[in-house]
Structure 1
Amino acid sequence: MHDERFPGLRRRGFLAATGAATLGALALTACGGSGTDSEAGGGDGGTPKRGGRLRAAFAGGGASETLDPHLANLFADVARAKALFDKLADYGADLSAQPRLATKWEANRAMDRWQVTLREATFHDGRPVTAKDVLYSYRRIADPEKAYRAKASLEPIDLDASRATGERGIEFVLKRPTAEFPNVLAAFGAYIVPENAGRKAGDFDRKPIGSGPFRFVSFTPGRSAVLRRYDAYWEGAPHLDELEFVVANEESARVNALLGGQVEYAHELNPTTARAHEGKGQIEIVRLRNSAMQGFCMKTDRAPFDDRRVREAFFLIADRKELVDGALSGAGVVGNDLFGKGYEYYAADLPQREQDLDRARSLLKQAGAEKLKVRLDTSAVAAGFTEAAGIFRDQAAKAGVTVEVRMGSKDSYWSDILDSGTLACYRSGAMPIEAHISQRLLTGSTTNATQWRHKDFDALYRQSQSTRDRAERAAVYQRMQRRLYAEGGFLIWGFADWILGTAKNVKGVQTGAPANTLDWARFDKVWLA
């Protein structure tokens, strides 16, 4: 397993960071939903057809796999959890909170107490989902003796003081003002289970009971899980009769199974595979845009990157298009040294940074670093890392900078680069911009890979969290992002597509949102034509 403290991912890992201390996007009353009518196959796909079994191939975790949703880490784990369970909210296409089991949330004036109202929904055994189930689930996640995924995300909540205000009402008492509290409800892994579920070891693997669109049939760790339509699902019964998750760890195995008709959905394909089959008529290629931020992190607390002129020079050395074309095989878009392109609060009005070697050389000269030598840590831990390191090494040479590329261990890379070194390849999946800031860019952030620690920046973050008006809060986020754009430690050169493959008869696969958001792996919306 990769280091759970760190927001990176391994080859078969989960795209988003582990939970942030405070996540999200404020909505005083939640309404609407996320999603898109786009689907694999193009067009409207015709009228949804009921029936059939869809087989979906994912890379798995072997014999240690579990259906405990609070332990979900790999993509396969999360896809199964999403089918069986629900959260109070989930992330929409722009990474804002969208209502799920929670139908409404309201804050007090101080933003430190939130009243949440549950919708009418039932678990697979017919019991209603109640406030007691929610509080039990959150307290289970927060167990100090356990390593549940969403534990850090729920940290702002004082669970001892929080209480049920009725069967479907909960008052969450917070430790501090948290304007983005709705995204705490959407946190990765914050699934709601029935009160007392999981008290006995193996409960979730024998017969898990959730409130999701599919109910449990069978599970063999490392091999398959079979689920069946839950007709009483609050959002409407799925079109499929059954859904089977099949484990195929190698990308070639997933592709061959798809081509051979053994599965109808293959998760996580590489760009070369996509190019080979896109538009050829045998299978459909689905691209989930802006799913993974790609970049380099510069340690801002040590030489040479403690000089902002050197950091700016490195921003100007990067030829982003060359990096996207070479390291991602063109499966992505260029970045602009800010996280969250297309997400809520993203500072899209800042000018796109271009390569400027003359200006880079001038800045290095001003900083006394004309013949700079620096080590770049990389690893085969994530697709494109080694390619990006080699491309950037050659780009830097044109500015008179010598970059020594050092390969690191796939098993320990993320923990190795958190505090050590000066420059490293970096990657992150979809998460709210606020979560990126709170988890990685505050003085007390535990995954601060750039060692960015500024009290005035921390103060801006606190201001954002105590600002009730969304427009005013957005303006504070803009100020923080302009600061990072000018002198931050993340050189963000691209945003990668996440690529799926489906059989021609699979319809309803949502394509308008990044991986890890509400519409990713929404098998309850899929049908077989």
Structure 2
Amino acid sequence: MTRTQPSARKTPKSGPSRRRILAGGAAAGLGAAMPLGWAKPAMAAPRRGGVFRVGVHDGSSTDGWDPATTETIMMIQVNHVVRSYLTEITNTNELGPDLATAWEATKDDATQWRFELATNATFHDGRKVTSADVIASMNYHRAEGSASAAKPLMEGITDIRADGDHAVVFELDSGNADLPYLLSDYHLTVQPAKPDGGIDWANGIGCGPYKVTDFAPGIRADFVRHDGWHRADEGAWFDEVKMTVLNDPNARQAAIVTGDVDAVTDVDLKTASRLAQAPGVILDNVPSGTHITMPMFCDVAPFDDVNVRLALKYSINRQEIVEKILFGYGTIGNDQPIAPTMPYYADLPQREQDLDKAKFHLKKAGHDRLSVEISVNDAILSGATNMCSLFAEQAKPAGLDIKVNQEPVDGYWSNVWLKKPFCVVSWAARPTPDIMFSQAYKSGADWNESHWENERFNELLLKAKAETDDALRAEMYAEMQLLCRDDGGTIVPFFRERMSARRDNVMHEDSIAAVWELDGARGYHRWWFA
């Protein structure tokens, strides 16, 4: 079968209108991420039954239940199986309800929001979900001293209060038109409240579609359907879900071909065309804002000199990397994290490889030749080590010697990311630029992986969040993307398409969410067996 090449689509530079955002249910602006290539649309109506077996990449023995420190793909998938959020990104990449059934900005400047909660939601141990649980869960990330990666997203919230047992009101110090989107962030699970105001997270109890029966970090996780799930008429079609950590891409491919699993989260792109020919296997190819970053610590030599950062940015040949590492399944990046499929994408002049400019900036930084080290593991991306080796070859004529350090997969997120000054990281798209920028580029954010600080960027971040005029907001986000590109400490070589695989008896709707693997990590309750 021939592969359909996705078109170079671009969304408008402005995002959803203020009126639609405030109404609670506007499109996320990500574009309709359709299964492309070899994917076949589902035709049969959903039915209940069966054990859904999934091979998941990027699992670690350090995985745990704390929603504040969720990092690996395995735990992102697990959280969406056992836990619920106030809102979700739907299979058509729009904002939809989860625990919150409706929401509205109750002040015109979007400084106050009210969320209605499902009245029939229960935790896996039978406790009713109430406003108190939502408040405690959100405050867990807001608390002073919290290590949550979601804390920067919550900083504008000054108070969260109950409006009866099944409604909560968020008070903000300034307007935030993105708040409903923000609350779909994968850290912001709703957990049972404890008498001391904390939350009960350690045992894996949630109020999601399935409850955990077995959990071995870095090895497996098993679940059974939660009959008290508040959206039972919408999904949770499988009786059970069984996840197995398969970090090796060859192991994942073998498992889906032999039928030992029903789906895998990530396909080795170099063998994708061959896998597509395997009997009973379907590939889902989804354009997305998923991207690779190569963050450089801006407060550590030699990366504390912007000229060194620019020398590295000018030395990389992004198109060659897309062709040789992604086998064409992606688009070149421009050293900023907002993809063409996202709202407020700015069509900036594309930075191309320019070895003369790389030499110029290296010389300006006081170097004729410079050696640096980059840390990587193929669990981040199949072929990530080869990508770094190719980068090293590309950069050598510019006077840059890049040593590639292949780190152990186990503990990569705890021992390498945010610890080593130059490494490789994989990021999923966030539904809005504010969420992406607040988590990874804002000064002081726990996940500011490059330690970048730019006063103008931080000023614009605050202004754009509160701006309800789309045109002005688009201008601000365009300038922020430019600052990332030209001053930031992060190389973004490409945006990749999500490639997962499933057996042909696993059915889903025509559209698949692009935000995380397997339908935004919600295939477990959206999909079914034929």
1:218-254 C-alpha deviation (Å, 9 max, x unpaired)? 3353444132274864373427241321324343444
Q: Of 211, 218, 232, which residue of structure 2 is paired with 1:216?
A: 211
Structure-1 separation of matches of 2:338 and 2:68: 26
Q: Is contact 1:337–1:485 with CA below 8 Å preserved after alignment?
A: yes
Unaligned runs of 5+ in 1: 1-23
Q: Which residue of 2 aligns with 1:247?
A: 244
Paired with 2:365 and 2:127, the residues of 1 have a C-alpha distance of 69
The residue type equivalent to 1:216 in the other structure is K
Aligned to 2:323, the other structure's residue is in SS state helix
Secondary structure of the structure 2 residue equivalent to 1:344: coil
Q: For 1:39-78, what aligned pairs fall within 5 Å after superposition? A: 42-53=39-50, 54-59=52-57, 72-78=70-76
Q: Distance in 2 between matches of 1:193 and 1:87?
A: 9
Q: For 2:313 and 2:105, locate their aligned partners in 1 and report how far apart those are by CA, in whole Å.
A: 42
Partner secondary structure for residue 28 of structure 1: helix
* Cα distance in 2, alignment partners of residues 46 and 288 from structure 1: 19
**CA shift at 1:88, angstroms?**
0.8
Judge conservation of contact 2:39–2:282 (CA < 8 Å) in 1: no
Match of residue 321, structure 2, among 311, 320, 323? 323
Distance 1:414 1:291, change over 3 A: farther
Within-5 A mapping of 1:369-448: 371-380=368-377, 382-383=380-381, 384-399=383-398, 401-407=399-405, 409-410=407-408, 411=411, 418=418, 421=421, 423-431=422-430, 432-448=432-448
Equivalent-residue separation in structure 2 for 1:446 and 1:80 (angstroms): 22
SS of the counterpart of 2:211? strand
Equivalents in 2 of 1:412, 1:279: separation in Å? Answer: 33
What is the rounded CA distance, in whole Å, between the counterparts of 1:305 and 1:203 in structure 2?
Answer: 39
Q: Does the Cα contact within 8 Å between 1:56 and 1:245 map onto a contact in 2?
A: yes
Pairing 1:167–2:165 present? yes
* Equivalent residues of 1:25, 1:179 under 8 A apart: no
SS of the residue aligned with 1:403? strand
Identity, % of aligned pairs?
Answer: 22
What is the match of residue 337 of structure 1?
335
Kept in 1, the 8 Å contact 2:46–2:528? The answer is yes
1:227 is the counterpart of 2:224: yes
Aligned residues: 497
Structure 1 residues 297-321: Cα deviation after superposition (integer angstroms, max 9, x where no partner): 3455566655555544433322112
TM-score normalised to the size of structure 1? 0.79
**Could you say which residue in structure 1 is the equivalent of 2:521?**
520
Deviations 1:432-485 (A, max 9, x none): 422332233333334434343232222222221232323322221111112333
More displaced stretch, 224-233 vs 470-479: 224-233
Length-normalised TM-score, structure 2: 0.78
Q: Is the 8 A contact 1:248 1:254 kept in 2?
A: no
| Aligned positions of 1:55-454 closer than 5 A | 55-59=53-57, 72-91=70-89, 97-102=95-100, 103-106=102-105, 108-109=107-108, 111-123=110-122, 129-140=129-140, 150=150, 153-158=153-158, 161-175=159-173, 177-196=175-194, 204-205=203-204, 208=205, 210=207, 212=208, 214-216=209-211, 218-221=213-216, 222-228=219-225, 230=227, 233-234=230-231, 236-238=233-235, 240-251=237-248, 252-290=250-288, 292-300=290-298, 308=306, 310-362=308-360, 364=362, 367=364, 371-380=368-377, 382-383=380-381, 384-399=383-398, 401-407=399-405, 409-410=407-408, 411=411, 418=418, 421=421, 423-431=422-430, 432-454=432-454
| Cα deviation, residue 355, structure 1 | 2.3
In structure 1, distance between residues paired with 2:372 and 2:136: 48
Which structure 2 residue ranges, 5 or more long, are not aligned? 1-15
CA distance in 2, matches of 1:489, 1:458: 15
Measure the CA separation in 1 of the matches of 2:447 and 2:453: 12
Q: What SS does the aligned partner of 2:282 have?
A: strand
Q: Distance in 1 between matches of 2:402 and 2:68?
A: 41
CA-atom RMSD, angstroms?
4.0
